[in-house]
Amino acid sequence: MSEPRPDDSISAGTGPGGGAFGWRRRQFVVDARYQLRAGVLVGTVAIVLLVLLNASLLLQDRSAAASAATAVRPLFAGQDRASWALLLLGSAVFLGGVILVGVMESHRTAGAAYAIRRAVDAIRDGRTEIRVRLRRGDHLQDLAKSVNQLAETIDAERSRRD
C-alpha cells in the first residue's frame, strides 16, 4: 500500500462526499495486519458459537428421534434435510454479517489511528498547522483531540517566540 501525499488537512476521510462531515475513506482496509487479526478473532468466536449452537440442535434432534416411533421417522426425513439446510444457510449469513461488522468496526479504529499517525508525523516534521479530523463514530476521538491540543500548544508557543 503506497503512502498518500501529505497535505494541509490530515483527516480520516479523503475527498468530498459521503461521511458525516463530507468526506469518506476510499478503502476499508487501512491497516491490514490489525484488521485481519480483528476479523479472524471475531470470525473465530462466531464460528465457535455457531458450532456449539448447531451441535446442540443436532443432539436435541437425535434425542427426539430416538424417542419417536421408527415408523413415523421416514415421513419427516425430507423436512429434516430442509430444516438443516435452512439452519446452515442462516448460520452462513450470520457469520458473514458478523465478519462484515468486525471489518467495519476495525476500520473505525484503524482509519482513525492512521489519520492520527499522519498528523503526529507531520507535527514531528514541523508542520504544526495540521489538525486531525475524524468522522463521527470513529474510535480514538479523545486521542485525536489531544493531538490537536498539542499542535495548538506548539503553535501558540512558536507564535510567542516570534
Per-residue pLDDT, 142: 94
Q: What type of residue sits at position 48? A: V
Asked if the structure places residue 14 within a domain, the reply is no
Domain region containing 106: 29-161
What is the arithmetic mean of pLDDT over 24-44? 77
CA distance 134 to 127: 19
Instruction: Give dist(CA 134, CA 14) in Å, integer.
Output: 11
> First-to-last CA distance in the chain?
40
Residue 22 lies in a domain: no
152 domain-assigned: yes
Assign residue 4 a region (left: φ > 0; alpha: ψ between -120 and 50; beta: otherwise): beta
Instruction: Tell whether 61 is covered by a domain.
Output: yes
- Is residue 52 scored above 70 in pLDDT? yes
**Which of 32, 27, 39 is CA-nearest to residue 105?**
39
Residues making up the chain, counted from first to last? 162
Among 20-24, 30-34, 100-104, 117-121, the minimum mean pLDDT is found in 20-24
Residue 20 lies in a domain: no
On whether residue 146 sits in a domain, the answer given is yes
The tally of domains found in the chain comes to: 1
In this structure, is residue 82 part of a structural domain?
yes
CA 66 to mean position of chain CA atoms? 44
pLDDT for the residue numbered 71: 47
* Structural domain includes residue 101: yes
Short-list 20, 39, 19, CA closest to 29: 39
Q: Residue 98: its pLDDT value, please?
A: 86
